Amino acid sequence: MARSEAERDQGESAFTGILRRVFQAVPAVIAAVFVDLEGECIDYVASIQPYDAKVVAAHMHMLLKQMRGERLPSVLGETFGFELVSAEREVWVRQFCEEYALVVLIEPGFDLSELRDAVATASREFREEAGLATPPWEGQERLSVRLRSSPGWNYAPAGFSLGGARFGIAAVLGRWIEPARPGESPWVCFRVRTQHGEELTLAHDEHTEAWSVRDS
């Protein structure tokens, strides 16, 4: 059943379109909320009642604030987000600068790569709109590749995101297997052309599920 947005209890802002793209990009999303340091809602898009979306976002931000205040083991590094799994829903919380966070409420069964890409893109767009600096942890955003089925190949890349930027793939130009080096698995390589006309290679280690991007 197609989702529709619930009637809003506040006017739209410059950020509504960013949240709406998250809502539309991942069918399982039922609410996407921007909150400030105090957990107050700045803007939202939701298929549930606005009050419920805002209350969930405020509580999730409170949990994030507590985590950031705790002295976690140094091996974990700084906390800037988390995923909460409950009996009925899942919640993703992502702090994308020092002052603001994005809270996404999701139905079970969502596409993880689509959600990760949509959240990373929204974080970057929000910073650009508000003129905010990119925090240190954003530089650690790993390569995420979205897949599609492909006759004869089992799968092929449909798009990828890196460093908060999302790229569509216009064409897969070729595929080959790189022989494994001692102690490593072979890489499945795809030569692709992005929607902007750039050509590059995406390499996949099927054993570890790791991806890398190469210029040539």
* pLDDT tens-place string over residues 193-205: 988 888 999 999 8
Q: State how far the Cα of 53 lies from the Cα of 44, in Å rounded to an integer.
A: 8
Give the mean pLDDT of 139-151: 78
Q: State how far the Cα of 73 lies from the Cα of 137, in Å rounded to an integer.
A: 17
pLDDT category at 1 given cuts 50, 70, 90 is very low
Instruction: Tell me the percentage of the chain whose pLDDT exceeds 90.
Output: 42
pLDDT category at 171 given cuts 50, 70, 90 is very high
pLDDT of 29 reads: 95
Q: State how far the Cα of 158 lies from the Cα of 2, in Å rounded to an integer.
A: 24
* pLDDT tens-place string over residues 45-91: 999 999 999 999 999 999 988 887 776 666 667 778 889 998 899 99
pLDDT of 96 reads: 85
**Domains present along the chain, CATH in parentheses:** 16-139 (3.30.450.30), 144-214 (no CATH)
Q: Reduced to 3 states, what is the DSSP secondary structure of residue 143?
A: coil
pLDDT of 195 reads: 85
pLDDT of 103 reads: 96
pLDDT of 216 reads: 62
Torsion of CA 26, 120, 113, 85, to 10 degrees: -80
What mean pLDDT value characterizes the chain? 86
